[in-house]
């Protein structure tokens, strides 16, 4: 009964392709996030949704498009993949929006663009 799950765990694809990463949480949380962890291990927020509404959109290329069909899901679609998109992408959720709420992270999706 994984709290935050992501699929796939590994994704290898070529430049120019379009790919999606799925995320689901069964914690009943209202807020979900996407983070990117680069080779230097820094985690950076990309997007956040609260009750299916986009509330945070950091400086991310518009090739990245999040979609939240319901509160339990936040998927990430990436168009025209580039070499620099190679990273580990983490989904997370929290009870509500705000930094006082603990975030629970998924296991990550390692994306490799060749």
Give the footprint of other proteins on this chain (CB under 8 A): 4, 40-45, 48, 55-56, 90, 92, 99-100, 102-103, 105-108
First to last CA, the chain: 34
Q: Which is nearer to other proteins, 56 or 72 (CB)?
A: 56
Q: In terms of residues, how long is the chain?
A: 114
Q: Alpha helix (H) ranges present in the chain?
A: none
Q: Which two tokens stand for residue 109?
A: 């999706």
- Write down the least CB distance from residue 108 to other proteins, Å: 6
- Write down the least CB distance from residue 80 to other proteins, Å: 27
What distance in Å separates the CA atoms of residue 88 and residue 27, rounded to the nearest whole number?
23
Q: Which is nearer to other proteins, 16 or 95 (CB)?
A: 95
- Write down the least CB distance from residue 9 to other proteins, Å: 9
Q: Which is nearer to other proteins, 27 or 55 (CB)?
A: 55
Is residue 109 a contact partner of residue 6, using CB atoms and an 8 Å limit?
yes
Q: Which is nearer to other proteins, 87 or 92 (CB)?
A: 92
- Write down the least CB distance from residue 39 to other proteins, Å: 11
Say which residues have a Cβ less than 8 Å from residue 18's Cβ, sequence separation at least 6.
77, 78, 79, 80, 81
């Amino acid at each position: 009964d994984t709290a935050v799950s992501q699929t796939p765990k590994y994704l290898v694809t070529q430049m120019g392709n379009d790919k999606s990463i799925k995320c689901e949480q069964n914690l009943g949380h209202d807020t979900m996030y996407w983070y990117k962890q680069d080779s230097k291990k820094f985690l950076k927020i990309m997007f956040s949704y609260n009750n299916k509404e986009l509330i945070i959109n950091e400086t991310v290329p518009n090739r990245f498009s999040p979609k939240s069909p319901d509160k339990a899901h936040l998927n990430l679609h990436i168009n025209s993949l580039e070499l620099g998109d190679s990273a580990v992408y983490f989904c997370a959720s929290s009870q509500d929006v705000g930094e006082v709420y603990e975030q629970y992270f998924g296991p990550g999706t390692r994306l490799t663009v060749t």
